[in-house]
Amino acid sequence: MCLAIPMQVKAVEGSEAVVTQGGTELRVRTDLLDAVEVSDYVLVHAGFALQVVDPEEARATLAMLREMAGDAPQEGEARG
């Protein structure tokens, strides 16, 4: 029940945001966030955005996983 899905913000309208993921579009409340911008990733749970995903931390974790898997970052990819 504590499932929360990362979805990307397409538009911010007052205390709501339009978010998308894999072709699904939702309107969610943003009451729990101090700030949110278009193109941010937010964690969506029960119709609310719980938090903005930190892109630097996401990249750092991916870099750690890639290193463990023995993959070098590919050309042209953003690095954290």
Partner 1 sequence: MAETGPDGAMRMMDEFRAAGAVEALRAAIAAAVPRPVKLMEVCGTHTMAIARAGLRGLLPQEITLLSGPGCPVCVTAQGEIDAFLALGERPNVVLTCFGDMMRVPGSAGSLEQMRARGTEARVVYSPMDALVLAIEQPSKEVVFFGVGFETTVPTVAATLKEASRRGVRNFSVLAAHKTIPGALAALASAPDLAVDGFLLPGHVSVILGEAPYRFLAEEHGVACAIAGFEATDILDGIRALVEQIRDARPTVANRYHRAVRSEGNPTARALVDSVFAPVDATWRGIGLIPGTGLAIREEYAPWDARARFADLDWERFANVPEPRGCRCGEILKGALTPRDCPLFGRACTPARPVGPCMVSSEGTCAAYYRYQL
Residue 61 lies near partner 1 (rule: CB under 8 A):
yes
Residue 65 lies near partner 1 (rule: CB under 8 A):
yes
Residue 25 lies near partner 1 (rule: CB under 8 A):
no
Q: How far apart are CA 58 and CA 70, in angstroms?
A: 18
Beta strand residue intervals within 1-62, DSSP E: 5-13, 16-21, 24-29, 41-45, 48-52
Residue 71: strand, helix, or coil: coil
By the criterion CB under 8 A, which residues form the site for partner 1?
1-4, 6, 8, 29, 31-34, 39-41, 43, 45-48, 50-51, 53-55, 57-62, 64-66, 68-71, 78
